[in-house]
């Protein structure tokens, strides 16, 4: 690893930040591509976040990733926010321009879509409806990404229906909300199903869903990646459906930031998966 006096520096900022895998991922790529740079975790509390972001250009940082709970609060510190970040209502990647301006974007939608395309090369999002389970921040980004892939209709089901309705109102377009108890009634008309909730995650309750109600050509994705093969994905495969695991979303969403800050578009390889899974 090279970190000279000319090193390019980027960071991930969260509160807390110790759970994040981003430093492991970015520093793997820095080493892989022999780049003079470093990527560091910074724990910044909510009362200091705006001031710290405004200070990034003065410190010479190239930019940063933003994680919970700051993805909305940082917007107040930025000079420009991309259209996709505005639609999602959250920023996860900040770039400092040569002129010292702060640009914010959100790469979660890109990461999600790239991960699906990577695992199911012939995916055709425009072929039919998508069912989205959950209505947190991840769901918001995924719905925006699905809209950009011309999904004809998105159906959101969430335990707290108002949160699904808030996404429907915010994003507009062809989005329908169906109650949690009726979630299985929408499966027979779905081309694509994604779990964006924490159900099925290690230590959390299971996602109870009868996958056999989906059409034979449906694709099933999970953004949960602990465990990598969730029960939902196992059920999908048992039913002969294509299944997309969640870790790749995390890896792909990191690509645009790395390219902005360090000047090389990094690859998401099998070796990277193995490296991250071993961490």
Q: Which stretch binds ligand ATR (CB under 6 A): 94-102, 192-200, 209-217, 240-248?
A: 192-200
Q: Give the Cβ contact number of residue 100 at 10 Å.
A: 11
14 binds ligand ATR (CB under 6 A): no
Would you say 117 or 159 has its CB closer to ligand ATR?
159
Contacts 24+ apart (CB under 8 A), 265-272: 266/29, 266/32, 266/33, 268/114, 268/118, 272/25, 272/28, 272/29
H helix intervals, 208-254: 231-238, 247-253
- Return the active site residues: 71
To the nearest whole angstrom, how small is the minimum distance from the Cβ of residue 137 to ligand ATR? 3
DSSP 157: E
- Taking CB positions, which residue lies at the least distance from ligand ATR? 136
For ligand ATR (CB under 6 A), the number of binding residues is 15
Tell whether omega for the bond before 16 is within 30 degrees of 0, i.e. cis.
Answer: yes
Q: Contact with ligand ATR (CB under 6 A): which of 117, 159, 176, 237?
A: 159
Would you say 92 or 95 has its CB closer to ligand ATR?
92
Q: Which stretch binds ligand ATR (CB under 6 A): 109-117, 130-138, 239-247, 270-278?
A: 130-138
Spatial strand order in the sheet of 154-158: 175-179, 154-158, 129-133, 190-195, 219-222, 242-244
170 binds ligand ATR (CB under 6 A): no
Residues binding ligand ATR (CB under 6 A): 134-139, 158-160, 163, 196-199, 205
């Amino acid at each position: 690893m090279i970190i000279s006096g000319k090193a390019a520096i980027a960071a991930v900022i969260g509160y807390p930040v110790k759970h994040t895998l981003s430093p492991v991922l970015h520093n793997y790529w820095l080493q892989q591509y022999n780049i003079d740079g470093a990527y560091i975790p910074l724990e910044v509390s909510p009362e200091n976040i705006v001031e710290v972001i405004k200070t990034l250009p003065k410190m010479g940082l190239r930019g940063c990733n933003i994680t919970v709970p700051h993805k909305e609060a940082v917007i107040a510190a930025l000079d420009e926010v991309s259209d996709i970040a505005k639609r999602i209502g959250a920023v996860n990647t900040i770039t400092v321009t040569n002129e010292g301006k702060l640009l914010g974007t959100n790469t979660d939608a890109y990461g999600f879509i790239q991960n699906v395309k990577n695992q199911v090369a012939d995916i055709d999002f425009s072929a039919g409806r998508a069912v989205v389970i959950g209505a947190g921040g991840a769901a918001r980004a995924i719905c925006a990404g699905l809209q950009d892939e011309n999904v004809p209709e998105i159906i959101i089901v969430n335990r707290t229906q108002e949160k699904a309705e808030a996404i429907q109102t915010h994003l507009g377009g062809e989005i329908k909300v169906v109650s949690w108890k009726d979630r299985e009634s929408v499966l027979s008309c779905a081309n694509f199903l994604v779990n964006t909730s924490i159900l099925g995650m290690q230590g959390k309750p299971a996602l109870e869903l009868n996958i056999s109600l989906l059409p034979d050509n449906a694709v099933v994705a999970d953004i949960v990646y602990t465990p990598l093969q969730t029960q939902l994905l196992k059920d999908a495969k048992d039913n002969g459906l294509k299944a997309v695991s969640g870790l790749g979303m995390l890896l792909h969403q990191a690509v645009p930031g790395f390219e902005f800050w360090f000047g090389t578009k990094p690859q998401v390889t099998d070796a990277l998966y193995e490296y991250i899974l071993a961490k």
